Amino acid sequence: MDLGLKDKIVLITGASKGIGASIAEGFLKEGAHVIIVSRGSDKLYEVERFLKERYPNSKIYAEKCDCTNKNSLNDLKVKLERLIGSLDIVVSNIGDGRSVVDVIPDSEQWEKTWSINFE
C-alpha cells in the first residue's frame, strides 16, 4: 500500500520494543526515514540493528532520550535540528510499562499516560 510516506522523516518515541518498534517498521515499509527514541537501553540499539538489516536501503537512526524529561527532549530537538533539519511526522508512543487488566484503564492511569504523551 502506498500511503505517500516515501522520504518523510518520522520520529517515534517509545520505540525500543512492542508497539513503537512495530510502528517504526510500518513506516519503513512505506519508504519513510525513521528516528527511533527511548529512554535508552540495549533494546533500542538491537531494534535499530534489526531494522537496518531488514531494510538496508532505509535511513534509520536511534537516539536515547527520556521523553518525560524536558531537558532531555530539548537536547534531542537540538541534535535532530543539527543532523536532520525538520521532522514531517511525530508519533508519541510513551507509556509507563504497566499493563492493565481492563481494556480501558481507570481515570488516574489514563490521565498519567495522557500527560506523559501530550504535555
Domain extents in the chain? 9-118
Nearest alpha carbon to residue 59 among 38, 82, 31, 80? 31
- Helix ranges restricted to H, the chain: 18-29, 42-54, 70-83, 107-118
Question: pLDDT at position 68, please?
Answer: 81
pTM of the complete model: 0.81
- pLDDT in single tens digits along all 119 residues of the chain: 788 889 999 999 999 988 999 999 999 999 999 999 998 778 999 999 999 999 999 999 999 998 888 899 899 999 999 998 899 999 988 765 666 666 666 677 667 666 666 55
Question: pLDDT at position 4, please?
Answer: 86
Do 60 and 36 form a contact (C-beta atoms < 8 A)?
yes
Q: Which three-class secondary structure state does DSSP give residue 101?
A: coil
CATH superfamily of 9-118: NAD(P)-binding Rossmann-like Domain (3.40.50.720)
Q: How far apart are CA 85 and CA 77, in angstroms?
A: 10
Question: pLDDT at position 81, please?
Answer: 92
